[in-house]
Amino acid sequence: MKELEAILKQFETFVKRVLLPSSSFVFFLLVYDVLLNSCKILTHLNDITSIILIIIILVAFMGLSTVLSILNQAIFDNKLKENFDAKIIFTKENKKLKEERQAVVKLLPKLSEGEYTDYIIYQKILYKSKDNTDKYVNQAKEVGITFVSFIIVLIISIVTLYHQDSERWKIISLLLITSFSYFWGLELIKSRYRSRAIRIYSNYIKRSSEKNINKEDS
C-alpha cells in the first residue's frame, strides 16, 4: 500500500509540475494559430475523428510536457545556482533574505562569507530541514514551463512573420517581448525559491536556537 501511495505521489508531482503547466503551450499555440496561422491547426483538429489519432495526440502531448520540462531546466533552472536576490521585482525581499542568509552562515562553520550562496546553503541544510517546500517548487516549475511555452510560441511567431515578409517593427516588437518574457519569468521563478529560502532559513535558525537553549538547560 505504501509503495502504491509513493507511486501515486510521484505521478501527482509530475501532473502538478509538468503536465498541467504544459497545457499553457496549447493555449498559446492556439492563440498563434488564430492570429497568425489562419486557424490551420484548429481546422486540422476539427477534422480528427479517429480514436487512435486522438490517443497519439495525447501521448505526443505528454512527450511535449517532458520536453518543456527539460527546456525549463536548461533555460531557467540552470540560472539559479547562485543567490536568489531579486533584480527587477520584489526587491524589498532582498534585505530579509540577506539577513536570514547571514544568520544561517554563522551556524554553518564550514562556510565562509565569500563562498556561500542560497543554492549551496540549501543543499547543505536540506537533509536537516523538516519543512515541506513542495509547493514552492511546484509553483516555480509551473511558472517556468508557462514562460518557456510562451517564448517558444513567440519564436514560432517571429519565424512566421519573417516568412510572411511582415513589417520589421512587428518582428522587432516580438523579439523585445521574448527578451522581456525571459527576464520576467526568471524573476518570478526566483521569487518562489526566495520565499522557500526565507522560510527554510527562519525555521533552521529557530530550531538551532531551541537546541542551544535545551543544551544550556541540561
Over the stretch 94-129, which tens digit does the pLDDT of each residue have? 999 999 988 888 887 766 555 678 888 888 887 666
Given pLDDT bands bounded at 50, 70 and 90, which one contains residue 154? very high
Domain count, the chain: 1
Q: What is the band of 175 on the pLDDT scale with cuts at 50, 70, 90?
A: very high
Mean pLDDT of 53-81: 86
Question: In one letter, which amino acid is 166?
Answer: S
Structural domain boundaries enclosing 45: 2-217
Q: What is the pLDDT of residue 193?
A: 93
Map residue 66 onto helix, strand or coil. Answer: helix
What is the pLDDT at residue 133?
A: 78
- CA dist 182 and 136 (Å) reads 20
Other Cβ atoms closer than 10 A to 177: 16
Q: How far is CA 190 from the centre of its chain?
A: 8
Check: CB of residue 103 under 8 Å from CB of residue 200.
no
Can you give the pLDDT at residue 209?
Answer: 77
Whole-number pLDDT of residue 47: 78
Q: Which three cell numbers stand for residue 34?
A: 488564430
